[in-house]
């Protein structure tokens, strides 16, 4: 039986891994993995198909695509374009899944212009939380041009209207981000909302090298225990694609990972092997809670980010914004 302990993570992949480590299968949850060895890109698809699976995972039913690559934050233009193109393909896949047919004619839905509202969630003044605002800064917004001069002013027959908003955080505005976005949706009537936010990870090796794309929307602050009103199709009235990158990890997680390495070292020692076996007998939940008790109260609730997070966030935001810019171009030429 899996212990019900709190794992500080926004990644559906890591929730699934928690069950796999205890050899527990979750009915209604399917995991598929593809690894491109040449480019060192791993793509994992987690599909939560039933309400029971959603309850076990603690996440809504839907599709969660996780792209992992060590090159995500590297300032390599060629790899940047390649990764952006891949992300664009996955975002487009999820958008097309939720698009309604435009009419009775076959293929009309694919050729219809769509309106996309990009929401850059987070706090621009806190670097690990500034991913969303930075992505919005790099977007090619077109809604105002199309509204003012028509789509032919863009030099293309089909043009998608892209608009962007950075709603800030409650401490700055006194309002829930979801409240602000809901008002904008009701006024501007986009077909799709793309919400971009920084996430928390369970595994430190996934920091700034992982992108999760989900068609279930996004819940700002959930990974760091700061639960805010979610942005979902139910709350906004239009499909919401959530894009997130883990930029922080719980301090207890780092200590827990260090403890795992310590246990392995003990097990390899003849004189201390028994101690390692005793510690190994605890399940993952018991060890995690034990670590939280040891570091309390000073380190509880502390989240850690890499020292070069400034440059990483700048590069990653550029890649994600380019993927969204490519997306608009692809739909326009579909």
Confidence of residue 107 (pLDDT cuts 50, 70, 90): very low
23-32, 183-192, 235-244, 292-301: which range is least confident on average?
292-301
pLDDT at 331: 52
Q: Which among 151, 159, 145 is positioned nearest to 114, based on CA atoms?
A: 159
pLDDT at 297: 67
pLDDT digits (tens, 9 = 90+) for 260-309: 777 778 778 777 777 777 777 776 667 667 776 776 666 667 788 888 99
- Where in the sequence is the domain holding 225, given as residue range(s)? 12-100+110-246+310-332
pLDDT digits (tens, 9 = 90+) for 304-334: 888 899 999 999 999 999 999 998 765 544 4
Residue 264 lies in a domain: no
pLDDT at 59: 86
Residue 80 lies in a domain: yes
3-state secondary structure 99-120: CCCCCCCCCHHHHCCCEEEEEE
What CATH number is associated with residue 181? 3.40.50.1450
Residue 268 lies in a domain: no
Residue 278 lies in a domain: no
Q: Is the pTM of this model over 0.75?
A: yes
pLDDT at 156: 64
**Count of structural domains, the chain:** 1
pLDDT at 121: 94
Confidence of residue 6 (pLDDT cuts 50, 70, 90): low
Percent residues over pLDDT 70 in the chain: 79
Average pLDDT over residues 136-164: 83
Specify the higher pLDDT residue, 175 or 11: 175
pLDDT at 12: 80
Residue 289 lies in a domain: no
Name 202's Cβ contacts closer than 8 Å, sequence gap at least 6: 7, 8, 9, 11, 14, 17, 18, 249, 250, 253
Does the pLDDT value for residue 111 go beyond 70? no
Residue 284 lies in a domain: no
Residue 283 lies in a domain: no
Specify the higher pLDDT residue, 296 or 249: 249
Q: What's the mean pLDDT when you consider all of the chain?
A: 83
Does the pLDDT value for residue 130 go beyond 90? yes
pLDDT at 197: 94
Average pLDDT over residues 201-213: 90
Percent residues over pLDDT 90 in the chain: 46
Residue 2 lies in a domain: no
Helix axis angle, 251-267 relative to 273-280, nearest 10°? 140
pLDDT digits (tens, 9 = 90+) for 165-205: 999 988 889 999 999 999 999 999 999 999 999 998 888 88
What is the C-alpha separation between 201 and 216, in angstroms, rounded?
18
Q: Are 163 and 118 in contact (CB under 8 A)?
A: yes
């Amino acid at each position: 039986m899996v212990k019900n302990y709190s794992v500080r993570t926004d990644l559906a992949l890591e929730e699934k891994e928690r069950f796999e480590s205890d050899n527990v299968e979750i009915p209604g949850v399917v995991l598929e993995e593809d690894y491109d060895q040449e480019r060192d890109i791993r793509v994992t698809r987690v599909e939560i198909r039933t309400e029971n699976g959603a309850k076990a995972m603690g996440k809504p039913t839907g599709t969660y695509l996780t792209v992992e690559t060590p090159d995500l934050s590297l300032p390599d233009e060629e790899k940047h374009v390649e990764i952006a193109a891949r992300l664009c393909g996955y975002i487009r896949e999820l958008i097309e899944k939720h698009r309604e047919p435009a009419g009775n004619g076959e293929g009309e839905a694919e050729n219809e212009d769509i309106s996309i509202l990009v929401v850059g969630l987070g706090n621009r003044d806190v670097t690990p939380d500034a991913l969303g605002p930075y992505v919005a800064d790099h977007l090619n917004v077109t809604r105002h041009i199309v509204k003012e001069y028509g789509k032919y002013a863009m030099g293309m027959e089909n043009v998608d209207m892209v608009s962007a908003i950075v709603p800030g955080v409650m401490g700055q505005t006194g309002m829930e981000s979801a409240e602000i976005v809901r008002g904008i949706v009701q006024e501007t009537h986009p077909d799709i909302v793309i919400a971009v936010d920084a996430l928390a990870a369970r595994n430190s090796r996934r920091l700034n090298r992982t992108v999760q794309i989900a068609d279930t929307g996004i819940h700002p602050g959930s990974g760091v225990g700061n639960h805010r009103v979610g942005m979902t199709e139910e709350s906004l009235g239009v499909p919401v694609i959530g894009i997130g990158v883990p930029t922080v990890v719980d301090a207890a997680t780092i200590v827990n990972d260090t403890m795992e390495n310590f246990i392995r070292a003990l097990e390899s020692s003849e004189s201390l092997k028994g101690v390692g076996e005793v510690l190994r007998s605890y399940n993952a939940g018991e060890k995690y809670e034990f670590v939280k008790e040891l570091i309390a109260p000073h380190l509880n609730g502390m989240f850690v980010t890499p020292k070069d997070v400034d440059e990483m966030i700048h590069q990653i935001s550029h890649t994600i914004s380019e993927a969204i810019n490519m997306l608009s171009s692809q739909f326009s030429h579909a």
